[in-house]
Structure 1
Amino acid sequence: MSYVWAFVVGGAICVVGQLFIDYTKLSPARILTGYVVAGVILSAVGLYKPLADFAGAGASVPLLGFGHLLAQGVQNAVDECGLPGAFTGGLTAASGGIAASLIFGVLAALVGKSKDQN
């Protein structure tokens, strides 16, 4: 049953993003950034952790989950080392995902062939 809830919650998050793309003039970059910021805010007020616990990967994999990860990293680092943790905690918590995206981006650039869009 956890797969079903992960699919439903992840799908709902994607549907909201698609509605933003279809019915607003927001650029995809602004929508993606808004999702990360919304994840941070929902995590800060304590609403996202129960959703992530309930839906698993359906809530933790999308960009909302990345914002939640950043907020949790900052919160843990501030608890451990005080105010400097506000600057280091988010990057420490998300370093694996950030490193993987950079590595796979470079690999894709090496394998792919660039060309003009026009």
Structure 2
Amino acid sequence: MDYLNAFWVGGLICALVQILLDKTKLMPGRVMVLLVCTGTLLGALGLYQPLLDYAGAGAGVPLLGFGNTLWIGMKEAINENGVLGLFTGGFTACAAGISAALIFSYIASLIFKPKMKE
């Protein structure tokens, strides 16, 4: 049942974002920022954790989950270091994921030959 919940929640998030992209003139970069900020806000309000517990990776993998992870890291760092944690917590919480994305994308660029669109 966990897989089914992850699938339908993640699919619903992606479908809603696709509708947002299709029905508005927002550029994809702005939508990505909107998703991260929304995930952070939902995490701060305590609304994202129940969704994450229910859907697992279906809620944790989209950009909403990245925003929630930033919030969790900032909250922990603020509790430990005070106001300075506001600036360091998000980086600490997301360092492993961002590092993995950079390393794997670099390896992929070595394996595959990029081509310009014609």
TM-score of the two chains, using structure 2 as the length reference: 0.94
CA positional deviation for 1:102? 0.5
Structure 2 counterpart of 1:10: 10
The separation in 1 between residues aligned to 2:112 and 2:6, in whole angstroms, is: 32
| Separation of aligned partners in 1, 2:115 and 2:7 | 35
1:73 aligns with 2:73: yes
Tell me the CA shift for residue 75 of structure 1.
0.2
C-alpha displacement of 1:117? 2.0
The amino acid of 2:113's aligned partner reads: K
Shift of 1:89: 0.6
The equivalent residue for 1:91 is 91
- What residue is the counterpart of 1:104 in the other structure? 104
Runs of 5+ consecutive residues of structure 2 not aligned to the other structure: none
Q: RMSD of aligned C-alpha atoms?
A: 1.0
Give the length in aligned residue pairs. Answer: 118
List gaps (5 residues or longer) in structure 1: none
Q: Deviations over 1:75-112 (max 9, x none)?
A: 01101111111111111011110000110111122122
Whole-Å separation in 1 of the counterparts to 2:92 and 2:42: 20
Alignment of 1:38 with 2:22, yes or no, is no
| Aligned AA (1:98) | I
In structure 1, what is the equivalent of residue 114 of structure 2?
A: 114
Q: Distance in 1 between matches of 2:28 and 2:41?
A: 20
Identity %: 51
Partner of 1:20: 20
Distance in structure 1 (CA, Å) of the matches to 2:27 and 2:108: 24
